[in-house]
């Protein structure tokens, strides 16, 4: 594998995605992959300040303003962390990315999804994840896991979070090759086993495609 990979972890708050990201990082490092982790919002530096505004600001934040703050954080993350790491042949594991904006601001807040897609493309420079895990969980269970202390988005209400969950599942139906849905109510170990199985299958297919391409180039 000559170039790096960009893998994103998505799902409702309390779905266990951050735990699974950490477990995959440990698994990959044991198998001699070079790995870095990042998150949205809140990548190192400027992103940490944007995260504080998005999650903890107690004043009024319009839906459009919220979206642009996420996009600003995303552009910074892609330009300063993700792209340089991929160019160095590293695997980037990112806690939330473009699908979160579509699910939360598009399906959840009701903003125009085509417009969000256009803005996402602008913020990322057209860079899409190679593989995405969506950890699916019902809203009641996710809220119980989050507990009493909720940030601004976690406090948006049951109907909002049901729309977000529906949005994630629709995205998975639209891009089944990239987005893999995993039942987040299973045990941590069971979920981790599914994640590693999907990752290894992806790598096998990727290497096979590269070998086929190299063979075709050689024969020509």
- Quickly name the fold that domain 5-219 has: Rossmann fold (3.40.50)
pLDDT at 208: 83
User: pLDDT tens across 79-109, in order?
Assistant: 999 999 999 999 999 999 999 999 999 999 9
Residue 156 structure tokens: 């948006």
Q: In which element (H, E) is residue 132 found?
A: strand 131-136
Flag whether the pTM goes above 0.85: yes
> 158 pLDDT band (50/70/90 cuts)?
confident
- pLDDT computed for residue 3 by the predictor: 81
HSE (side-chain half, CA atoms, 13 Å) at 175: 13
End-to-end alpha carbon distance in the chain: 22
Rounded to the nearest 10 degrees, how much is the dihedral formed by the CA atoms of 100, 188, 78, 45? 100
- pLDDT tens, position by position, 21-79: 999 999 999 999 999 999 998 767 776 777 777 766 677 778 888 778 888 889 999 99
**Tens-digit pLDDT profile for residues 39-48:** 998 767 776 7
**Percentage above 90 pLDDT, the chain:** 65
Burial of 75 from C-beta contacts in 10 A (0-12 / 13-18 / 19+): middle
């Amino acid at each position: 594998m000559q170039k790096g990979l960009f893998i994103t972890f998505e799902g409702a708050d309390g779905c266990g995605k951050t735990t699974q990201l950490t477990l995959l990082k440990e698994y990959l490092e044991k198998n001699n992959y070079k790995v870095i982790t990042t998150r949205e919002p809140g990548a190192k530096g400027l992103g940490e300040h944007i995260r504080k505004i998005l999650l903890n600001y107690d004043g009024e934040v319009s839906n459009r303003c919220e979206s642009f703050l996420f996009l600003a954080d995303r552009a910074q993350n892609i330009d300063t962390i993700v792209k340089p790491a991929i160019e160095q042949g590293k695997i980037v594991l990112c806690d939330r990315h473009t699908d979160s904006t579509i699910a939360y601001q598009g399906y959840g807040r009701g903003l125009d999804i085509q417009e969000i897609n256009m803005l996402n493309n602008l913020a990322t420079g057209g860079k899409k994840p190679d593989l995405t895990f969506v950890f699916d969980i019902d809203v009641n269970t996710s809220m119980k896991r989050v507990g009493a202390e909720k940030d601004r988005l976690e406090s948006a209400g049951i109907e909002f979070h049901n729309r977000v969950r529906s949005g994630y599942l629709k995205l998975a139906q639209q891009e089944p090759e990239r987005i893999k849905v995993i039942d987040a109510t299973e045990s941590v170990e069971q979920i981790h086993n599914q994640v590693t199985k999907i990752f290894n299958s992806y790598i096998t297919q990727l290497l096979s495609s590269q070998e086929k391409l190299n063979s075709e180039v050689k024969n020509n």
